[in-house]
Amino acid sequence: MQALQAPNKSETTLRSITTTSNTTTPLASQGNHDGDSTKLWWKKRFRLGEFLIEKSITAISFLSFAFIALIFVFVFRESLPIFSTSAVKKPAETKQVQQETYGDETPAAELQQQVDERKRSVENLEEGGATAANLAGKIWQPVSSKPKYGMLPLIVGSLKVTAVAVLFSAPMAILAALFTAAFAPKWAKELLKPAIEILAGIPSVVIGFFALIAMATFLQKTFGFQYRLNAFVGGIALSLAVIPIIYTITEDSLSRVPKVITEASLALGASKWQTALFVVLPAASPGIFAGILLGIGRAFGETMIVLMATGNASILSGDLFEPVRTMSATIGAEMGEVVFGDTHYTVLFFIGAVLFLFTFTLNAIAEVFIRQRLMKRFEGQ
Amino acid sequence: MRKLGRKLLGLSIPLFSGLCAFFIVLIVLIVMGETIIGGWSTLSWEFLSTGPKEGMTEGGIYPAIIGTFLLVVIMSIAGVPIGTITAIYLSEYASQKSILARMIRFAVNTLAGVPAIVFGLFGLGFFIQFVGTGMDKVLSGGAELKWGQPNILWASLTMALLTLPVVIVSVEEAIKAVPRELREASLALGATKWETIRKVVLPNSITGILTGGILAVSRGAGEVAPILFTGAAYFLPHLPSALSDQFMELGYHIYIMTTQSPDVEATRGIQYATTLVLLVLTFALNFSAMFLRYKIRTRTAR
Amino acid sequence: MNQNGYKITTRNLSLSYGPKLALKDISVGIRTNYVTALIGPSGCGKSTFLRALNRMNDLIDGVQTSGEVLVDDIDVYRNDVDVVALRKKVGMIFQRSNPFPKSIYDNIAYGPRINGIHEKNKLDQIVERSLKQAALWDEVKDDLKKSGLALSGGQQQRLCIARALAVDPEVILMDEPASALDPLATAKIEELIFELKEKYTIVIVTHNMQQAARVSDYTAFFYIGKLIEFDETKNIFTSPKEKQTEDYVTGRFG
């Protein structure tokens, strides 16, 4: 009886039951009845299989993080020699020479030549002043007797192409998303959404091919610029890859604007377009901004399209209609032909590290905008 | 005057935004139309079943198709299990607040945003230079250069890494679509967590895993930047027969045929037809993924 | 099994979701081989209490429990208690019938199989016995291969009961098992509950007071996380001691 007694209120309620009960044996008296097997039914069993599976699943999941860490480490590690003055590597690494001729052995002479070449390039680098000064230079000429690794034209190239791409794709994608969210009849939505998904699914090499073969000629005829392949053409081509990103995120954040807000505006006598433009669009602005950031990141990091459609000349100029070479395209075009471990190789990795950091930062900012601002606004927290 | 302005604006905004939408659809149609028209006449059974001839100015793309196929198969073998397991961890084992789960989520988001070319650099720096060269040192004392150079294994693993977030996101979505009630039913019957996952959660998210795999394959077949210097070859007389062989690939083939072919004009037909094949391949994959996803969603809404 | 006649006893059981207190100091004794009904307005904590008995609340992030739940005199919230074993002993039927998207046979064989029973004839026996106990055998014996989802709502719920019986539980917790069913199917379930109490201890959550009055021997009335009154069912419905209970059972609120 005492075992069942609750301290306060329920005492009365319990009594009515205990009166119908015959026994008042204290609970949990040790070892009184039943065989061991039933007595210990509750005893926690150690399930080895279960334990091992959980640990392996956790360990394997951790791989994603490990790989991100490894990407950081290796991309930066390979670009590290830039920062040390003695860019010459240990002789042991001369074996890490990429073979362009498959299966054949690299003749010793050739090896030696490559080593010399590398030494020379390093010397030249030092000759031309500090590495940093060389990197900040205006000329990118990695393959020459006096290699120059001025990244400025590449950076400007990337910026030009990205600017064209985003300036072209952002208004179009945002307006198209607004159209889907506010004005489109059902059939138009059902046409547009798959079209965007298809566009998002087109491989970038196909877009590059299309830009190189068809679009460049068309644009040249229309605008009459001198070079068929240039920053403008590359940027327009890139926008085909950027449109789906900005559209999807904009459309998503527009559709997340609560109906009550829209209805309130409409109820106040605002027309459909006024509501769309002055209520829905501003309410979704953090999401749209995030979409643009992700679009910039994509444009900046994209390789194949710019590699094929920009003309790939490392000219430092502000003219949008001149051929350019972007950072990503430089890696794509030159990494296949460099000697492992030499300055050129290192500089290309350095460019990669910059690309990585840049897109990483953009994505992180976009994430903050999507997650925090948008959620806060609509969920009132 | 003001009224008129407002009226014009009221008309022009839906109209203008509609035009943008229409323009996007038009672009998609043009890209597809251009590829089909340009590639149709060259496309034939022979084109698909023979290799390049006459210094790559004639012949087909058979080795590139096989190479692409092998690439995505090896990639899937490596990536889909890891992605599935990670999705299981994130949705079934991790509590949302745990630091480890947050780290993994952060990593998946970051992986999804890394430019493809950086994956290529990583493949070169990590798989080829570090792992491959290390393997050579261990296996042959560094005498033989076998693994420390670009090959299909390193290219596939690089691609697996790139497509990992695709798999994880897709599988996680499918696992989350498995009704809570089914999990509870299983647990209430005295099943352990893993028994519940294996017998209830996984069988019910198999379509999601399939979708993730298909989307990853579609992505992997279309990306070229990561394999530029991790294993793709300009031309190979033989099909790859070992993991340490290089390979030809459709996307890479398009790239080199259009930019580095000895006679770019003469091979237009081949370029178009190769692009058409790649486009059809990715579309077929994407559509089947879309279809499966649609099936998952309607089933959840039961 | 247990000499004092109580299968489950809770002592000062309190439960909170984060900062929100859902159950406050519940002390109650549930008698072996009787049906105990839990009633109260929605959100009063009756389902939460039910789920606390076989630790199903563990699955929800941020749930904190204090006090004791004794099943056969063992506090199941102790660290060394095996939740899996507990749930085998204390089965559960849910509000929405939740058969697995498998055949009827496989639904019922699920529990035995995870307990390591794989011999065909043994499984056959268990399936038949469980379906008979759940009064479903005559309706489905000819197509055990049919999907569990192809059955009607009432049949599905009885399938779930059969599935729970197949693992030989001692207690069956039912969370509004008939709330989604039509009157006829409900009557069948109630009939079944009446038969099952011969062998099992049953705790049933219901929002239907007639149902509580019909099927249960004891009734607990919950209100805003507190146990207001617990007594024999006839007392609760004819002469409740608390004003709130009276108001509720006479339909003045709820």
Q: Which of A67, A173, A247 lies nearest to residue B161, judging by beta carbons? A: A67
Tell me the chain C residues in contact with residue B184 when contact means C-beta distances shorter than 8 Å.
56, 59, 92, 94, 98
**B129/A75 CB distance under 8 A:** no
Q: Which of A8, A16, A32 lies nearest to residue C25, judging by beta carbons? A: A8
**A308/B222 CB distance under 8 A:** no
Q: Which residue has the tokens 């030092």?
A: A126
Kindly report which listed range (B51-55, B243-247, C247-251) carries the lowest average pLDDT score: B51-55
C29 touches chain A (CB under 8 A): yes
CB neighbourhood size of A261 (10 A): 14
Tell me the chain A residues in contact with residue B35 when contact means C-beta distances shorter than 8 Å.
206, 210
Q: Which positions 81-120 of C are in contact with A (Cβ < 8 Å)? A: 81-82, 84-86, 89
Q: What is the mean pLDDT of residues A286-295?
A: 92
Output the pLDDT for position A262. 87
Long-range contacts of B270-274 (CB under 8 A, 24+ apart): B270/B42, B270/B47, B270/B57, B270/B58, B270/B61, B271/A209, B271/A213, B272/A213, B272/B35, B272/B38, B272/B39, B272/B42, B273/B38, B273/B39, B273/B40, B273/B42, B273/B43, B273/B47, B273/B61, B274/B39, B274/B61, B274/B64, B274/B250
- Average pLDDT of chain B is 90
Q: Which positions 25-64 of A are in contact with C (Cβ < 8 Å)? A: 25, 27-28, 32-34, 38, 41-45
Test the A interface: residue of B27, B92, B118, B193 with most A CBs within 10 Å: B118
Q: Which chains touch C (3 or more CB pairs under 8 A)?
A: A, B
Instruction: Identify the H or E element spanning C69.
Output: strand C63-71
Q: Could you give the strand order of the β-sheet that contains C218-223, starting from the edge strand earlier in sequence? A: C90-93, C171-175, C201-205, C35-39, C218-223, C226-232
Output the pLDDT for position A133. 64
Output the pLDDT for position A91. 39
Count chain A–chain B contacts defined by CB atoms under 8 A: 273
Higher pLDDT, A78 or A10: A78
Tell me the chain C residues in contact with residue A18 when contact means C-beta distances shorter than 8 Å.
29
B187-231 pLDDT tens trace: 999 999 999 999 999 999 998 899 999 999 999 999 999 999 999
CA distance B92 to A65: 18
Which residue in chain B has the smallest CA separation from C173?
B188
Q: Taking 60 as the threshold, does the pLDDT of residue A37 lie above it?
A: no
Instruction: Catalogue all structural domains in chain B, each as residue range(s) with its CATH number.
Output: 34-48+61-300 (1.10.3720.10)
- The helix/strand/coil state of C174 is strand
Question: In Å, how far is A210's CA from the nearest CA of chain B?
Answer: 7
- The helix/strand/coil state of A351 is helix
Q: Which of A188, A277, A301 lies nearest to residue B13, judging by beta carbons? A: A277
**CB of B226 within 8 A of CB of B162?**
yes
CA distance B95 to B90: 8
Which residue in chain C has the smallest CA separation from A16?
C231
Q: Taking 60 as the threshold, does the pLDDT of residue A93 lie above it?
A: no
Q: Which of B182, B183, B190 lies nearest to residue C88, judging by beta carbons? A: B190
A276 touches chain B (CB under 8 A): yes
Query: Largest alpha-carbon pair distance within chain B?
Result: 86
**C70/A27 CB distance under 8 A:** yes
Question: In Å, how far is C76's CA from the nearest CA of chain B?
Answer: 14
A183 touches chain B (CB under 8 A): yes
**CB of B248 within 8 A of CB of B67?**
yes
CB neighbourhood size of B230 (10 A): 29
Q: What is the mean pLDDT of residues B3-11?
A: 77
Q: What is the mean pLDDT of residues B282-287?
A: 92
| % pLDDT > 70, chain B | 98
CA distance B105 to B19: 38
**CB of A329 within 8 A of CB of A309?**
no
Output the pLDDT for position A28. 37
How confident is residue C67, by pLDDT bands cut at 50, 70 and 90?
A: very high
Output the pLDDT for position A43. 81
**B224/A204 CB distance under 8 A:** yes
Q: Taking 60 as the threshold, does the pLDDT of residue B31 lie above it?
A: yes
Output the pLDDT for position B300. 57
Question: In Å, how far is B191's CA from the nearest CA of chain C?
Answer: 6
Q: Which of C4, C71, C80 lies nearest to residue A43, judging by beta carbons? A: C80
**A304/B28 CB distance under 8 A:** no
Q: Taking 70 as the threshold, does the pLDDT of residue A5 lie above it?
A: no
Q: Taking 90 as the threshold, does the pLDDT of residue A306 lie above it?
A: yes
Q: Which of A114-118, A133-137, A146-150, A356-360 has the highest mean pLDDT?
A: A356-360
Q: Which positions 7-26 of A are in contact with B (Cβ < 8 Å)? A: none
Higher pLDDT, A137 or B186: B186
**CB of C82 within 8 A of CB of A42?**
yes
C168-192 pLDDT tens trace: 999 999 999 988 888 989 999 999 9
**C29/A41 CB distance under 8 A:** no
Q: Which of A64, A191, A276 lies nearest to residue B108, judging by beta carbons? A: A64
Count chain A–chain C contacts defined by CB atoms under 8 A: 91
Q: Taking 60 as the threshold, does the pLDDT of residue A100 lie above it?
A: no
Which residue in chain A has the smallest CA separation from B19?
A176
Test the A interface: residue of C27, C39, C66 with most A CBs within 10 Å: C27
A269 touches chain B (CB under 8 A): no
Output the pLDDT for position A115. 52
Question: In Å, how far is B49's CA from the nearest CA of chain A?
Answer: 22
| % pLDDT > 90, chain C | 68
Q: Taking 60 as the threshold, does the pLDDT of residue A104 lie above it?
A: no
Q: Which chains touch B (3 or more CB pairs under 8 A)?
A: A, C
Q: Which of A6, A21, A45 lies nearest to residue C27, judging by beta carbons? A: A6
ipTM: 0.92
A290 touches chain B (CB under 8 A): no
Q: What is the mean pLDDT of residues C46-69?
A: 90
Count chain B–chain C contacts defined by CB atoms under 8 A: 62
CB neighbourhood size of C184 (10 A): 8
Higher pLDDT, A378 or C98: C98
Q: What is the mean pLDDT of residues A177-182?
A: 90
B267-281 pLDDT tens trace: 889 999 999 999 999
How confident is residue A132, by pLDDT bands cut at 50, 70 and 90?
A: low
Q: What is the mean pLDDT of residues A351-368?
A: 91
Tokens of C90: 């204390």
Higher pLDDT, B17 or B300: B17
Kindly report which listed range (A127-136, A307-316, B32-41, C245-254) carries the lowest average pLDDT score: A127-136
User: Hey, which residues does B53 pair with through a beta bridge?
Assistant: B58
- Average pLDDT of chain A is 78
Instruction: Identify the H or E element spanning B152.
Output: helix B152-177
Output the pLDDT for position A144. 72
Higher pLDDT, A33 or A300: A300
Which residue in chain C has the smallest CA separation from B193?
C84
Tell me the chain A residues in contact with residue B104 when contact means C-beta distances shorter than 8 Å.
61-62, 64-65
Q: Taking 50 as the threshold, does the pLDDT of residue A20 lie above it?
A: no
Q: What is the mean pLDDT of residues C134-144?
A: 91
Question: In Å, how far is C92's CA from the nearest CA of chain B?
Answer: 6
Output the pLDDT for position A381. 42
Output the pLDDT for position B53. 81
Higher pLDDT, B143 or A219: A219
A188-231 pLDDT tens trace: 988 898 899 999 999 999 999 999 999 999 999 988 888 888 99
Q: Which of C56, C101, C115 lies nearest to residue B204, judging by beta carbons? A: C101
Instruction: Catalogue all structural domains in chain A, each as residue range(s) with its CATH number.
Output: 152-379 (1.10.3720.10)
What one-character-per-residue DSSP string does B22-75 give?
Answer: HHHHHHHHHHHHHHHHHHHTT--HHHHHS-EETTTTEE--HHHHHHHHHHHHHH
Instruction: Catalogue all structural domains in chain C, each as residue range(s) with its CATH number.
Output: 6-249 (3.40.50.300)
CA distance A306 to A234: 5
A1 touches chain B (CB under 8 A): no
Nearest one of C162, A54, C82 to B191, comparing CA atoms: C82
Q: What is the mean pLDDT of residues C49-76?
A: 90
C80-128 pLDDT tens trace: 899 999 999 999 999 988 999 999 999 999 999 999 999 999 999 999 9
Tell me the chain A residues in contact with residue C71 when contact means C-beta distances shorter than 8 Å.
42
Output the pLDDT for position C172. 95
Q: Taking 60 as the threshold, does the pLDDT of residue B49 lie above it?
A: yes
Which residue in chain C has the smallest CA separation from B94?
C61
Nearest one of A306, A292, A188 to A238, comparing CA atoms: A306
